[in-house]
Structures are given as structure tokens and as C-alpha cells.
Structure 1
Amino acid sequence: MPEERLLLVHAHPDDETIGTGATMAKYVAEGRGVTLVTCTAGEMGEVLVPDLEHLAAHRDDRLGEHRRGELDAAMATLGVTDHRYLGGFGTYRDSGMQWHEDGYAIPADTIHDNAFWRADLTEAADHLVQIIREVRPQVLVTYDQFGNYGHPDHIQAHRVATYAAALAAVPSYRAASIEDGGLGEPWDIAKVYWTALSESRMREGLRRLRESGDKTAFEGMDPDGPLPMTTPDSDLSAVVDGNDHVERKLGAMRAHATQITTDGPFFALSNNVGSQVWGVEFFRIAKGERGPVGDDGLETDLFAGL
């Protein structure tokens, strides 16, 4: 087992790469342990490849299995060998979403019976408790209480990860061995972080996009207006510079071909701002003590101080 171990809890395939792909690739390259837990297979995602539109939920409903292959390819690109689905593949289904008129996500009008949004919190947390006690990570990464932009599965991932981290540390909580029906020896995660998108970086990126003449990428987002999906820089706690691994991240993004197209907004942003928009990733600390910081007042390593 590597001396330093990171556990990430994400909602759907592709979330891990967009928000934390550079960090994952960097830590793998440094010999640190990286474990990814994905809560659903992303069955309700929009299919951006015309030849694969038949996989969509309203047609053949086979997108989840296809995205499973995309996630495998993305993790191979990042070098991550330990990636799992919460409760096993297919246990929880993508809940879907719709957009509120104010620009954030809300639950869809119709939700599948085994949608992650409907999951029993203790049952779902127990699946993760077992993984936490097996992997014994010092650092956990997940979303904030709003799931960054309101998606019900992101919010649920936050709730499950937060509850599981608390339960995993309780000495008397199902501490018997797996063979005896328990969830393993207790483990207290030292540091918990929430993913974050720097407001200043996003504004800079949008300005460069608009100056280049691109008015369609991230349509409706004004570099000088409200940006609800971003985090004020004053709330940021850590930054991981993964620029040396940004090509791996971009390759992993390409692997999620049904969700991210090379002529879409993510790559438009990359083409105009350069690797800094995807090679540098930000976090907010939610548990634990901050370690040494750099000149900008941010930790440069999620394991800082441990």
C-alpha cells in the first residue's frame, strides 16, 4: 500500500477528469495511491456523438455500459488502476437533472426508482465506509454541499461521502471484519477537500474566449457577471499544479467522447487560455488542518502537513 493515499468520490464518469484529472495523474506519477469511487454510470447523460444517440435513456437506455468503457479508458490514460462504482456497477442509476431558470441544476421531473438521488443514505454510506476502511486514505475529495452547481447526484455524493467519512471513524460502528458481516477496522480520514473552480481563473478564461471571437462556448456566461458555478478565490484552500500532466487530463477528457467533444466549450477554453485552465486545480478544505502554504496563501499539496 502506498504511504500516501487519496480517495475521490464523484457522481458520474467524466466528473473526475474535468475537476480532478490533473491531480489524479500527478499523484499517480508521484507514487501516491489514488482510488476513484464513481456513484453512478451516468445513464441519463446527453449523448454528443450522433452515431451513438441510440444509447440514450429515452431510446435503448444503454449509455451506462458505454460510459463504463469510457471511464476505463480515461483512467488508463491518467494511470489510475483502482476505480470502483459505489456498491458495484449498476447499484445506483444517474438521477438526471434539469436547469432552473436561474442557471443551476435541479432534480428532473421524473426520477428512476433506483436513482442515486433516492438512495438510502446509510446504505449508500456503508458501501463507502467499507472502501474507506480498506484503502485507509489520508485525504478525501468530493463536492461541496451544493454539488458545485446543484446536480442532485453531486449533492448526494457530497452527503454520502461526508456521512461515510464520519461513520468510518467510529470505533463501535460495524467494526467487525468483512467476513463477520462488518465493514472493517475504523479509519479516520485526516483531511477532506471539496472541489472548486477559481472564480478569477474562470473569468479570465471567458474573457479570452470572448476576445477571440468565440461567443458560443459557455453561452450565457458573462465574464463580468454572476458565475454561480465558481468559488470566490478567498474561499480557496489549496491548488495543485498538474501542468506537467495536463496532456493526460486532456486525453482522458477525449476518452469521455459521448459527453465531451473536442469542438465543445471545454476544449475551446483550453485552446484559448492554454493548459493553465485544466492543468491547475483548486480545492476548499472541509476537514483537517491546513499545512504549509505558498506565496498565494494556498496549500500546494493536498497532503500538506500530514
Structure 2
Amino acid sequence: MATLVCFHAHPDDEAIATGGSMARASDEGHRVVLVVATDGIHGERPDDLAPDESLVDRRKAETMASAAALGIHRVEFLDYHDSGMTGWDANGHDHAFANADLDEAATRLADIVRDERADVLTIYDWHGGYGHPDHIRVHEVGCRAEEMVRDDLPDLRVVESTMNRDEMRRGLDAARADGVDFGPDEFDPDGPMDDGNPMGTPEAEITLAVDVSAWAERKRRSIAAHRSQVTDSSFFLQMPMDAFTGAFGTEWYIEHDRDARSGPRRGWLFDEVGSAHPA
């Protein structure tokens, strides 16, 4: 069996970005570890917080519930402050993850990766999918941690979780053809995101498509665990299950050990890990 370490920016990112992969890995008998960089303090504040309960407390509890739904074996919180979206005052906080010393943060991640003797580490693409400062820092810290552990773990595979911009566009076009009216706030994956760049990655630059359709229900349960951020009226929970599976039943990655040539191959995170498959 092998070990998968997934590095994420905020509580709930694990569910949306790699939830299916983590559930699949756990069900196959692999060890799954989640590392969360920030406290998520700038998320939505629910009305039902107890007098002695902070939003950080709630979001950590929700992350543990999400982890249980996905079969995650270990959860580590690095407890940096959520940096907020680009341009927020929170960007300037001394303990904001976006301002974290690169080597200090990478050392903390590298220590976990070494301790777990990880076979696969997931991080984010170069602009964190949509340009959030904390997501960008996950990429930077993850890449630096990869350098730090390379001598100890020469076979570690590092893959960047991303979103397939072309697939999103195809899905939106199909929905429009079916008569769906997105209204004045229609999402445009080619439009500028938080950092001014389009959403995700062009399909031609993605190297791996992981089928997690059989784990879509588990993925949605993990999303639902983050009740402070995802209400019952959220489109994540309102979509029919077949539509949710169609939209979120594939998870997309850019592999550091493979060049993109003709778009993503259909495969699995452990395809190149010799000890990963049961006898």
C-alpha cells in the first residue's frame, strides 16, 4: 500500500478539489493524510455559532467530519491565518499564509511528508486554480517542500490539482443547449479570476484525469460536512446526483514527472508507484 498526502489552503478545499481521489485511495487500502494550511477565518460566518465557539473551531470540526466521510487517516492544521481574497485588508496580516516565510512553511509540510514516507503529494497549479493568494502559496510552498524532501524521498510523485477550463466550458455550453438560464451572473471560465487570469488550466496542459465517479456520493457528503460554508441551497447539494457526478466525477492533475503532450491521460495517482497496487 502507498501513502497520499494532500495539501490544501482552507477547510473545505479538500472536499471540492481532491475529495474523490482521497476517498478512492482510502477504499483501495492506501493511507491518506490531509494538511490544511489556514484557519479559514475569512469564510462565511454562520448564525448558529455558540457564544464560546469561534468560526475557526467550527471549520476545524467540519473538516474532521469531512475527513471521516472520505476515510482520511490523519489531519494536520498548520494554522496560518486565511489571507482573504486579493485586495482584502487581511492580505497584510503578519501571520497570513500568503505572507508566510517560504522555507518555514515548506519545512513544516516537508516534515509531514517525510514522517509519512509519502508516495504522492498533491498541491495546486501555479495560480491555485483561480488566483486566491492562499492557493497560490500552496503551490509555492508545495514546490519548495518537494525540493526539500527529494533526497530522502527520490520517488515522491508531486501532482498539481487543477480545473479543466475546456471541460467547464463544454459543460456550460451543454447546459445552455438544454435551456438552462444562468442569469446575469453567468460564470465565464475564460474571464478574469481573482488574479486576473482565467479559471484553471487549458485541457492540453493537464496530464492526468482521475475517474472518481464511483466516489461522487462520498465527495458530496464531504462537501456537505462544511455546513458553515455550504448551505442546503448550494448548487453542490441541489444538483441531481447524476448531474453532480457528471460535473465533479473527474479530478484533474498536472504531474511533475510527466510532460503534457496531447492532453490528459485517463489514469490514477498511484500508476507510477510500484508498491501501490494490491497483489
TM-score band, normalised by shorter chain:
0.7 to 0.9
SS at match of 2:252: strand
Instruction: Report matched runs for 1:107-118 at 5 Å.
Output: 107-110=87-90, 111-118=92-99
1:79 offset after TM fit, Å?
Answer: 0.9
SS at match of 1:131: helix
Matched letter for residue 138 of structure 1: D
TM-score (norm 1): 0.78
1:64 corresponds to 2:47: no
1:207 offset after TM fit, Å?
Answer: 3.3
Which of 172, 179, 186 is matched with 1:220 structurally?
A: 186
Matched letter for residue 164 of structure 2: S
Identify if the C-alpha distance between structure 1 residues 200 and 270 changes in structure 2 by more than 3 Å, giving closer, same or farther: farther
Which of 180, 204, 210 is matched with 1:240 structurally?
A: 210
Question: What's 1:94 paired with?
Answer: 82
Between Structure 1 and Structure 2, how many residues are aligned? 265
1:81 offset after TM fit, Å?
Answer: 1.7
Which of 242, 254, 278 is matched with 2:224 structurally?
A: 254
Identify if the C-alpha distance between structure 1 residues 35 and 107 changes in structure 2 by more than 3 Å, giving closer, same or farther: farther
1:267 offset after TM fit, Å?
Answer: 3.6
In structure 2, C-alpha distance between the alignment counterparts of 1:274 and 1:65, rounded to whole Å: 29
Identify if the C-alpha distance between structure 1 residues 300 and 139 changes in structure 2 by more than 3 Å, giving closer, same or farther: same
Question: What's 1:298 paired with?
Answer: 265
C-alpha contact 2:4 2:33 (8 A) present in aligned 1: yes
Point out the more displaced range, 233-242 or 266-275: 266-275
In structure 2, C-alpha distance between the alignment counterparts of 1:22 and 1:229, rounded to whole Å: 21
TM-score (norm 2): 0.85
Question: What's 1:161 paired with?
Answer: 142
Question: What's 1:265 paired with?
Answer: 235
Instruction: Report matched runs for 1:28-177 at 5 Å.
Output: 28-47=26-45, 49-52=46-49, 62-86=54-78, 90=79, 92-97=80-85, 106-110=86-90, 111-170=92-151
SS at match of 2:229: coil
In structure 1, C-alpha distance between the alignment counterparts of 2:199 and 2:238, rounded to whole Å: 18
1:299 offset after TM fit, Å?
Answer: 4.0
In structure 2, C-alpha distance between the alignment counterparts of 1:302 and 1:264, rounded to whole Å: 29
Q: Which runs of 5+ in 2 are unaligned?
A: 193-197, 274-279
1:251 offset after TM fit, Å?
Answer: 0.5
1:12 corresponds to 2:10: yes
Matched letter for residue 129 of structure 2: N
Matched letter for residue 167 of structure 1: M
Task: Let me know the Cα RMSD of the aligned residues.
Answer: 2.7
Identify if the C-alpha distance between structure 1 residues 192 and 270 changes in structure 2 by more than 3 Å, giving closer, same or farther: farther
Deviation string 1:147-177 (CA, Å, 9 cap, x unpaired) is 111111111111111111111224xxxxxxx
C-alpha contact 1:125 1:163 (8 A) present in aligned 2: yes
In structure 2, C-alpha distance between the alignment counterparts of 1:219 and 1:18, rounded to whole Å: 21
SS at match of 1:13: coil
